[in-house]
Chain A
């Protein structure tokens, strides 16, 4: 499968624990996006990378959230000291380059449940 992959698909954690998610974009795509989707809502933008550079972060991304894309390929999203409000589906998407015309391809998401 050459699409966007995410790991794990599901994560259950206790409040206060740290969690890390991974996203592998389509191989030649240099743009990578993270979105969050809560129940009954559409996805909301969190942050994006152009190659290894993180170029923008949403106000939704509190200090407890950090994202990296060290070699311009896969990306990780870490949430420290999780809270119940962090429970959501975390989606990763990639696109070919910076053109606004390029389709974003989405992965299956990581569903986080914070108890």
Chain B
């Protein structure tokens, strides 16, 4: 079974600071990788996803993530955060061989951006 760990539970940044949120997964096979975001009072939304090809994936709102297969990592980055990026961020994987495609989520990182 796969598992996902997110190293930082809480991150506080000032506006314009750079962001990197760590995500590592544990699974021996091929996986699809996702970052979801949950803004205050809203439902989970997909930020970006990786299936194959270029390991550097660009998502919405200036976010990007890099898949490093040798490190089983899929870290999320943004060069300059805004107050509106305050949210909880979840890394998730599903195994390509699994017919159910259910997602396995990390514990989430709560980001607070100070204006």
A-to-B contact residues, CB < 8 Å: 3-4, 31, 33, 35, 40-45, 48, 55-56, 91, 93, 95, 98-109
State A28–B70 Cα separation when bound (angstroms).
Answer: 38
Sample (17) of A-B pairs whose CB atoms are under 8 Å apart: A35-B103, A40-B107, A41-B107, A42-B107, A42-B108, A43-B44, A43-B90, A43-B103, A43-B105, A45-B102, A48-B100, A100-B94, A100-B98, A103-B46, A105-B46, A106-B45, A109-B43
Interface string of B22-35 (1 = CB under 8 A from A): 00000000001000
- Which of B4, B49, B99 is in CB contact (< 8 Å) with A103? B49
Asked if B105 and A98 sit within 8 Å, CB to CB, the answer is no
CA distance A100 to B101 in the complex (A): 5
Q: How far is the CA of A93 from the CA of B105 in the complex (A)?
A: 14
B15 to A: closest C-beta gap in Å: 26
Residue pair B104, A45 in contact (C-beta under 8 Å): yes
For the residues of A in contact with B, the DSSP-based class is: loop
Is B108 touching A98 in the complex (CB atoms < 8 A)?
Answer: no
Q: Roughly how many angstroms separate A37 CA and B43 CA in the complex, as a whole number?
A: 12
Query: From residue A37, how far is it (CB to closest CB) to chain B in Å?
Result: 8
